[in-house]
Amino acid sequence: MVDYNPDRYGVVIAGLIGNKTMRDLGPARPDLAIREKLAQFSAESLFAGRGIVDLEMAECCLAALWMYHDFLDESHRLSQQVYTHTGSYWHGIMHRREPDYPNAKYWFQRVGQHPIYPELKEAVEQLHVAWDEVPPFLLREVWDPAGFIDLCEQSRGKNDSMEKFCQTVQQIEWQILFDYSFRKAIGWVETE
């Protein structure tokens, strides 16, 4: 499964993520208790003490944190100003949650084949072991973001096992994409 540990991002980001999970497939009530804290950060101050080598990726991380706490408008303002495949990915997730499914599909078309797709597909395959009803299209050779958007649209608000599955995939997707964005922002490459 995904090796996700918020502590690897430093005390500032770990403090913003905590143990909260982003479960809603659609818009949710923003966490007003953290709004003021998030508003203090720029991409640069979020990475205090670490050198940023890619400011756009740092902006993606900030957009991701706003989204994590259900501030979709703030996340949107940031992600729509990042003209990269990863910026389009964050933008697409935001529209999927909004929900504006056709707009989400548009942004995912702009993403193309993102480098995290193989890892996301592998994580979904591992979920397949625990979930009997994983739609077969999610187990194809390549990740299908438009198919996942359709599945979220069909499942949202049903409070059934498929909605819970989609929520789990969405959380894993957020974690993998955040990790990717963070690593690119600081030029962090682990040796193998």
Q: For residues 95 and 110, give the distance between their C-alpha atoms in angstroms, rounded to a whole number.
A: 13
Radius of gyration of the chain (CA): 16
130 or 178: which leads in pLDDT: 178
Which pLDDT value is given to residue 4?
82
Instruction: Tell me: pLDDT of 190 over 70.
Output: no
Q: For residues 72 and 40, give the distance between their C-alpha atoms in angstroms, rounded to a whole number.
A: 17
Contact in structure between 138 and 147 (CB atoms under 8 Å): yes
Whole-number Cα distances in Å, 60 to 25, 65, 74, 141, 174: 20, 9, 12, 27, 11
The stretch 96-105 carries a mean pLDDT of: 98
Q: For residues 41 and 78, give the distance between their C-alpha atoms in angstroms, rounded to a whole number.
A: 12
| DSSP codes joined into one string, 170-184 | HHHHHHHHHHHHHHH
Query: Taking the model in full, what pTM does it have?
Result: 0.94
pLDDT in tens, 140-155: 888 999 999 999 999 9
The stretch 14-34 carries a mean pLDDT of: 86
- Give every CB contact of residue 70 below 8 A, 6+ residues apart in sequence: 22, 24, 27, 28, 29, 30, 31
Instruction: Tell me: pLDDT of 1 over 60.
Output: no
Instruction: Tell me: pLDDT of 119 over 80.
Output: yes
Amino acid at 94: M
Which pLDDT value is given to residue 127?
83
Q: Where are the beta strands (DSSP E) in the chain?
A: none
Which pLDDT value is given to residue 177?
97
Burial 106-116 (b: 16+ CB within 10 A, else e): ebbeebeebeb
Give Cα 159 distance to the centre of its chain.
21
Q: For residues 7 and 11, give the distance between their C-alpha atoms in angstroms, rounded to a whole number.
A: 7
pLDDT in tens, 26-69: 999 998 989 999 999 999 999 987 889 999 999 999 999 999 99
